[in-house]
Structure 1
Amino acid sequence: MIRLHRHDLPDDVSFGSSVAIDTETMGLDPRRDRLCLVQLSAGDGTAHCVQILPERLGGRGADCPNLKRLLADPAVLKIFHFARFDVAALYNALGVVVAPVVCTKIASKLVRTYTDRHGLKDLCRDLLGVDLSKQQQSSDWGQAELTPEQLAYAASDVLHLHALWARLKALLEREGRLDIAEACYHFLPMRGRLDLLGYEDPDIFAH
């Protein structure tokens, strides 16, 4: 099930102790490219898609108090795939530090060292037997009216993250690398802010 919300989450939506989150933007530079959609799921088969529209398109911009409250709630774990981009985009657009977070891409890179395939489509296929379509990945997310195909694509990016994290967390524990992953996750909000300041290249951790 897909539920589209314009501007903010409804007051009565609850995600429990963990929520899967993804974003759609106008491009891959969080400093430049507008945040258009935030997808969320409690792992129950329902995806809530919050469309963020600027005032010039009849929206409310960053005026989304319910969404912001959830993103910053220390009692709710946020599950991302490639959290580095999403937390930067959310901070830049909404001014909120998203925490605590985990990232399935980082987890995969730490334990699936036998492959260089760590994309969400690869993980869903290899670990869950689910084949995701990426056909709408490069479509125009900034339009005022999103298509059913776009919403279906956006929803698919969060509906499987709980199951993926469960599988990857078990692998991290098995390989004795959960503590390393947790340290990476703790740093991710600051890594996103460094990217927004232009420190992704050159990387301040490089020689």
Structure 2
Amino acid sequence: MRWLSPQPSESVLVSYQWIDQPNQLQSLVEQIQSCTRLAVDTEFVRTNTYYSRPGLIQIADRQQVFLVDPTVFSTQQLQPLGDILFAPDMQLLMHSAGEDLDVFLGLWKRLPSNLFDTQIAASLVGFDRQMGLQRLLMDIIGVELSKEETRSDWLQRPLTARQLHYAEADVKYLHQVADILQQKLQQTGRESWFAEECQQLVAKYQHKTPDEWLYLGFGSGWKLKPALQGALRHLASWREQTARQHNIPKTFIAKDANLYALVEKQPSSKALLSELGFQGSQIRRYGDQLLQQLHIGLQAGEPPLPIPRPLSKSQQKDYKALRDVVASCAETLGLPADLLASKAQLVNYLKARMAGTLTTDSPFAGGWRETALQPSLDAFVLPSNNNNKDELDHD
């Protein structure tokens, strides 16, 4: 799909202002405080830390681009800027905002009140779900955007001319693109769908999975006995807290496979950890703690919820049939199938339907997906033709 904007490209901003002095930051705040819509992006590095390390904040109104250097300002100095960005009447235009929301939480511990994510908007009006900004700009307004600097070092100073040009381009076209996408959303009657999706994205980062529930994400953990799942629950929570406390990636402490093997094999000494796939640096720094936390975890008992089992063979047939129904519905609506229903949502729907708990556990209850999918779901007949709760168990 390719659209070309009716607006002349000459109207798009062509310059930026570098902000690295307190008086410049104050002037920026004064200039944008009356705005109700700003384009925003961030550049950051997250290679050996738990938290993202912000290297640049890009902001654009309809007249100018501002590149703010967050490395030279304190949290207190940046607070007035945050007050504007996260004001109730401010709409932030962003593209694929997820990781940027993490940066916001690190800098301000706040998130947008009104997010307009152009990637989400594009997916609701006929584009791919994971449409990159480069392709979107080319298809909508015919602008070619270089992505060569995506993984460059944004903490180095000075930034290169290419980095600055790349950073500027990431926001200077967003007003134009958002205007076009908003018009398409209005024409298709999907404005409420879009608002719901943006709200859900913000909520995902506002309410992250609590540490004590992280164990449920261990795909093979269902094979462990209940008491061992309790130990895995404790270790996963401890690892997350330790990584956060020391600001290091959790994989520096142990990978998921390492924790699983630790619980399964229960080594008696630190010397045996290498046999479970632990690296020398992990053993030296965390070996004693890992064994200590394993011992504590083994005393924890069964967890509140068991780790979900994968689908049985008969359930997999039902899943594939359900997936085909959703794909057909998505094609009719002109939507990406994985936007209409993710794999996790389909699995949860299938299990709830077989267990007879759709009234309380349906992942599509409420919101635009229920409206879009319900007629197809009501007509869907399980190939196994078995709604018995026993179907949840493996054959």
What whole-Å deviation, never above 9, does each CA across 1:49-103 have from its counterpart, x for those lacking one?
A: 11111xxxxx334231232111111222110001222122211232122221110
Separation (CA, whole Å) in 1 of partners of 2:185 and 2:48: 30
CA shift, 1:160, in A, is: 0.5
Residue 34 to residue 153, structure 1, CA distance change in 2 (3 Å): same
- For 1:20, the equivalent position in structure 2 comes to 39
Separation (CA, whole Å) in 1 of partners of 2:150 and 2:56: 13
Residue 88 to residue 10, structure 1, CA distance change in 2 (3 Å): same
- 1:140 paired with 2:144, answer no
TM-score normalised over the length of structure 2: 0.46
- More deviation, 14-23/154-163: 14-23
Query: Superposed, which structure 2 residues align to 1:63-142 within 5 Å?
Result: 63=76, 64-113=78-127, 115=128, 118-142=131-155
What whole-Å deviation, never above 9, does each CA across 1:119-159 have from its counterpart, x for those lacking one?
A: 10111000011111111111100113212221111010000
Separation (CA, whole Å) in 2 of partners of 1:172 and 1:28: 37
SS at 1:10's partner residue?
A: helix
- More deviation, 171-180/157-166: 171-180
Residue 81 to residue 28, structure 1, CA distance change in 2 (3 Å): farther
- More deviation, 151-160/25-34: 25-34
CA contact (8 A) 2:87 2:113 kept: yes
Residue 122 to residue 49, structure 1, CA distance change in 2 (3 Å): same
- Equivalent position amino acid for 1:26 in 2: V
Separation (CA, whole Å) in 2 of partners of 1:154 and 1:30: 23
Residue 135 to residue 129, structure 1, CA distance change in 2 (3 Å): same
- For 1:51, the equivalent position in structure 2 comes to 69
- For 1:5, the equivalent position in structure 2 comes to 19
Q: How many residues get paired?
A: 199
Give 1 or 2: higher strand fraction: 1
- Equivalent position amino acid for 2:173 in 1: H
* Identity within the alignment, %: 24
Separation (CA, whole Å) in 1 of partners of 2:56 and 2:87: 20
RMSD: 2.8
SS at 1:13's partner residue?
A: helix
Residue 30 to residue 105, structure 1, CA distance change in 2 (3 Å): farther
SS at 1:78's partner residue?
A: strand
CA shift, 1:48, in A, is: 0.3
Residue 196 to residue 161, structure 1, CA distance change in 2 (3 Å): farther
1:183 to 196, 212, 215: 196
CA contact (8 A) 2:93 2:178 kept: yes
Residue 134 to residue 196, structure 1, CA distance change in 2 (3 Å): farther
Gaps of 5+ in 1: 54-58
- For 1:56, the equivalent position in structure 2 comes to none
CA contact (8 A) 1:30 1:196 kept: no
CA contact (8 A) 1:7 1:52 kept: no
- Equivalent position amino acid for 1:170 in 2: Q
Asked which structure has the greater CA Rg, the reply is 2
CA contact (8 A) 1:34 1:93 kept: no
CA shift, 1:193, in A, is: 2.7
- More deviation, 120-129/81-90: 81-90
CA contact (8 A) 1:39 1:154 kept: yes
Select the structure with the greater relative contact order (CA < 8 A; seq sep ≥ 6). 1
- Equivalent position amino acid for 1:6 in 2: D
- Equivalent position amino acid for 1:103 in 2: D
What whole-Å deviation, never above 9, does each CA across 1:25-58 have from its counterpart, x for those lacking one?
A: 10389953211111000122x21011111xxxxx
CA shift, 1:20, in A, is: 0.2
- Equivalent position amino acid for 1:13 in 2: Q
